């Protein structure tokens, strides 16, 4: 039944529609011109789950955490012109379930001239690998979502503000993060701005998510 539903969804949208509109692809809905949410993770895992279920293969549980961060993450057309090739690579990357495998794939593409220059991945492709890593880390953490509030005329923010939402109190995140205490959140929400986190904000965010891992919470 699940496989039929997914197949029906695929049939309803052309490949071009999926890539542009974010239906069943890894890019998801682009917000404010830069931020992207990954939807392909859940889509690919549901498809794999359905196929393996039919084959009687034991399933590994994967928790998909919604991530919206101000990071340009995509495979640009100048790297892969054919839509089919881009979609295939998106699917391959989205099906990775371990940090080790993702790092191997990153290193593999870092030495390919088409995708990198002097060992450095194309910026938006690097952003895609970073976003995938954040998704993997978040899936093993106490986080429920990672959201971003963008500057506008109402909130008067100087830079995008990232908010972490968890199902357990967030402790020891450092002085760059502000805990949000209300009768509803009770320390399960924390926020910081890109201005406060600095140029290496992506690296810092990964470190913070690792601190929120369920393993470390259990050890404490």
Domain boundaries, the chain: 140-220
Neighbours of 81 (CB within 10 A): 9
pLDDT at 128: 92
pLDDT at 214: 59
Pair 102, 110: CB distance under 8 Å: no
CA distance 101 to 1: 31
pLDDT at 93: 87
Pair 65, 144: CB distance under 8 Å: yes
Instruction: Using DSSP bridges, classify how beta strands 66-67 and 120-121 pair: parallel, antiparallel or unpaired.
Output: unpaired
Residue in 166, 154, 104, 168 with CA at minimum distance from that of residue 132: 104
Helices (H), 55-82: none
CA distance 99 to 134: 10
pLDDT at 26: 36
Residue in 89, 70, 90, 78 with CA at minimum distance from that of residue 149: 70
CA distance 169 to 167: 7
Residue in 137, 149, 144 with CA at minimum distance from that of residue 208: 137
Per-residue pLDDT of the chain (220 residues; tens, 9 = 90+): 444 444 434 433 334 444 433 333 333 333 333 333 334 455 555 565 666 667 766 655 667 888 999 999 989 899 999 988 988 888 788 888 899 999 999 999 999 999 998 889 999 999 999 999 999 999 999 999 999 999 999 999 999 999 999 999 998 899 999 998 877 777 899 999 999 999 999 999 999 999 998 544 544 4
Q: DSSP assignment of 75-140, as one string?
A: --TTT--SHHHHHHHHHHHHT--SHHHHHHHHHHHHT-TTTEETTEE-HHHHHHHHHHHHHHHHHT
Pair 91, 145: CB distance under 8 Å: no
pTM: 0.75
């Amino acid at each position: 039944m699940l496989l039929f539903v997914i197949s029906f969804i695929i049939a309803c949208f052309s490949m071009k529609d999926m890539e542009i509109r974010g239906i069943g692809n890894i890019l998801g809905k682009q917000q404010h011109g830069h931020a992207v949410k990954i939807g392909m993770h859940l889509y690919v895992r549901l498809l794999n789950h359905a196929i393996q279920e039919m084959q009687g293969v034991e399933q590994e549980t994967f928790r998909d955490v919604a991530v919206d961060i101000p990071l340009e993450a995509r495979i640009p057309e100048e790297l892969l012109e054919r839509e089919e090739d881009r979609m295939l690579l998106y699917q391959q990357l989205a099906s990775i379930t371990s940090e080790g495998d993702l790092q191997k794939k990153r290193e593999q593409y870092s030495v390919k001239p088409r995708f990198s220059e002097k060992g450095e991945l194309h910026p938006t492709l690097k952003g895609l690998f970073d976003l995938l890593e954040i998704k993997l880390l978040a899936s093993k953490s106490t986080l429920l979502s990672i959201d971003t509030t963008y500057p506008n005329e109402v909130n008067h923010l100087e830079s995008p503000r990232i908010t972490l939402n968890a199902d357990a109190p967030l402790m020891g995140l450092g002085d760059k993060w502000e805990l949000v205490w209300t009768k509803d959140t009770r320390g399960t929400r924390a926020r910081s701005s890109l201005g406060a986190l600095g140029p290496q904000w992506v690296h810092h965010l990964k470190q913070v998510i690792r601190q929120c891992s369920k393993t470390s919470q259990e050890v404490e």
